Structure 1
Amino acid sequence: MTIVIVTGIHVYPVKSMRGISLEEAVLTPKGLAGDRQWMVAEPGGRFVTQRDKPELALVATRVEDTGVTLSMPDHGSITVPYRMYDGEQVTSRVWKDTCETVDQGREVSAWLTRALASTTPLRLLAMSPGFKRPLHRAPLLGEGTTTGFADAAPFLVANQASLAELNSRLEAAAIPAVPMNRFRPNIVISGVEAFAEHRLQSLVAPDYQLDMRYPCERCVVTTIDQDTAEKHPQAQPFKTLTSINPMPGSKRAPAFAENAVLAHGNLQKIAVGDQLRAVFR
């Protein structure tokens, strides 16, 4: 029997902004409580991420009783209240998924537009009350699966050994190692060999179970330093990762971490240090 340890838990209250590391979090079918509750969008509702605005990496988020506070060097801070559902209703998109959302107001719109030096007005959106996002990859995740503003799935589970293997290849090529935050996972585990997460079926605890669904295809965000918002000039670690762990059936993009769903354990807590039984396919 293989036992893995939870070594990291992370939520990203606003999609593509800086995350928050936690000692424990509440599990829900939509993902970790508090994860990706808001997203930045253009006026027409198209979502904006670090692919468009790398500077989003510099916007820190702090969760408070009254809402989430956004802050950025040289631009101060702004607090966005929870459950601000009386704003303009906006039909928005996350990749192929259409979402019903609510504009969070002019004040935060002006702050984001200024802080991110955008020539197009930006707005902050929250999911409309009661709306369940239909996922275009539902056949892979399970019918009825929904999530917030995550790219693809409720959870992203990364393996510490995979990062270590990637960094050993980078360092062998005289390329600086990268931290786990390049991959923006929700849950980090240790205890299995590099890239063995792609062979996992489930991670089982006494009170909850996470089922792995399919590898996460990585993009240019992996090349963005999350502390400086600068892109690596040689597109690393994307290129090296593609060479050692390509997506199944593709040699043009790498895989890192597993998209996952909650099999059972709604409202249970996951904590750093949890010991989980690894079930392989």
Structure 2
Amino acid sequence: MPTISNLTLYPIKSCRDIDLREATVTAFGLKHQQVHDRQWMVVDSAGQFLSQRSHAAMALIVPTVQSDAMLVQAPGMAPLTVPTAPPAPLTPTLAVTIWDDTISAYDCGDQAAAWFSQTLGTPCRLVRFSPAALRLASKKWTNDRDVPTLFSDGYPMLLISQGSLDDLNRKLLAQGRTALPMNRFRPNLVIDGVDAFEEDFVATIQAGSACLQLVKPCSRCPVPSIDQATGKYGPDPLDILMTYRVNPRLNDAITFGVNTILLEGDGEILYVGQEIALELAF
């Protein structure tokens, strides 16, 4: 029987993940306590988002969710406390840009800006998604459905099967290379008990009262080449993936995993080990 084998939250875009035993699924993605996935983001002085694509050291920034705050740590830095309660009404906002979207976001203040600037060695600020902002996933892949997302690359959740990673690792090991952990690909949900890349052919997944729809193969950038434990490049799996994961539906992009949205069951609790039912797209 297929099951959920991992649930992962990324409170700050492109920073370290938090593995969870259970999580609340919402239209915006996963949530733990009062913290949503990719609810915070680091931007440069022009408001442009930063990610591991250009700042691999972001992998070493570690958030921890506490009862009323988020503790953020990095090597050589004193911990930073970021409030998780809703910002006060007059909290300053910034215009920030993530890919093709420019929206208003809450500025998390000078102390957080100084901390992240020192950690990354470049002037930057921490921002928080504003409920007044609206950012939607591409309707081309959501059947014209309005699907909100926060600071994810484009969709509320990313799903990968353990079988798909196992298949890639067999190919890497056959070439005398090192097997890779799942965190290289930064999914929110990992499922087990299915064949490699079966997720490519799944229309929906039922988990309790939650119905998830798999909508768009995830094209891969250089981030899987970054060791999430060290923030350094290598080994890079993209050359292996290029031999069998080129997707003509996405202009021959390399794909691994499937972007996912919630159809029903906002507020449902998902948990590791939970049995799920898959409906194939055929």
User: So what's the TM-score if we normalise by structure 1?
Assistant: 0.94
Q: 1:102 aligns with which of 106, 123, 128?
A: 106
Partner SS, residue 139 of structure 1 = coil
Aligned 1:107-118 pairs, distance under 5 A: 107-118=111-122
Shift in Å, 1:65: 2.0
State the match for 2:140 in structure 1. 139
State the match for 2:57 in structure 1. 55
| Contact kept in structure 2, 1:215 and 1:257, CA below 8 Å | yes
Structure 1 residues 134, 205: closer, same or farther in 2, change over 3 A? closer
Query: What is the rounded CA distance, in whole Å, between the counterparts of 1:209 and 1:252 in structure 2?
Result: 29
* Stretch deviating more after TM superposition (219-228 or 79-88): 79-88
Shift in Å, 1:130: 2.7
- The amino acid that maps onto 1:88 is P
| Contact kept in structure 2, 1:161 and 1:194, CA below 8 Å | yes
State the match for 1:18 in structure 2. 16
Partner SS, residue 124 of structure 1 = strand
Aligned 1:148-167 pairs, distance under 5 A: 148-167=150-169
Query: What is the rounded CA distance, in whole Å, between the counterparts of 1:42 and 1:191 in structure 2?
Result: 42
Aligned 1:1-281 pairs, distance under 5 A: 3-33=1-31, 34-82=36-84, 83-85=86-88, 86-118=90-122, 121-135=123-137, 137-141=138-142, 142-232=144-234, 236-249=236-249, 253-281=253-281
User: So what's the TM-score if we normalise by structure 2?
Assistant: 0.93
Of all paired residues, the percent bearing the same amino acid is 34
Partner SS, residue 144 of structure 1 = coil
Query: What is the rounded CA distance, in whole Å, between the counterparts of 1:253 and 1:177 in structure 2?
Result: 23
> Once the two structures are superposed, what CA deviation does each residue of 1:134-167 show, in whole Å capped at 9, x if it has no partner?
33x1221242111111101011111100000000
Shift in Å, 1:250: 5.7
- The amino acid that maps onto 2:113 is S
Partner SS, residue 105 of structure 2 = strand
Structure 1 residues 59, 11: closer, same or farther in 2, change over 3 A? same
Query: What is the rounded CA distance, in whole Å, between the counterparts of 2:116 and 2:171 in structure 1?
Result: 38
RMSD value over aligned CA atoms? 1.4
Shift in Å, 1:89: 1.5
Shift in Å, 1:112: 0.5
Query: What is the rounded CA distance, in whole Å, between the counterparts of 1:184 and 1:250 in structure 2?
Result: 20
Shift in Å, 1:239: 1.2
Query: What is the rounded CA distance, in whole Å, between the counterparts of 1:131 and 1:228 in structure 2?
Result: 34
> Once the two structures are superposed, what CA deviation does each residue of 1:212-256 show, in whole Å capped at 9, x if it has no partner?
001000110000000111112xx6111111212123346863211
| Contact kept in structure 1, 2:207 and 2:270, CA below 8 Å | no
| Contact kept in structure 1, 2:43 and 2:125, CA below 8 Å | yes
| Contact kept in structure 1, 2:97 and 2:103, CA below 8 Å | yes
Count of residue pairs brought into register by the alignment: 274
User: Which sections of structure 2, spanning at least 5 residues, go unmatched?
Assistant: none
| Contact kept in structure 2, 1:4 and 1:192, CA below 8 Å | yes
Query: What is the rounded CA distance, in whole Å, between the counterparts of 1:191 and 1:214 in structure 2?
Result: 21
- The amino acid that maps onto 1:166 is L
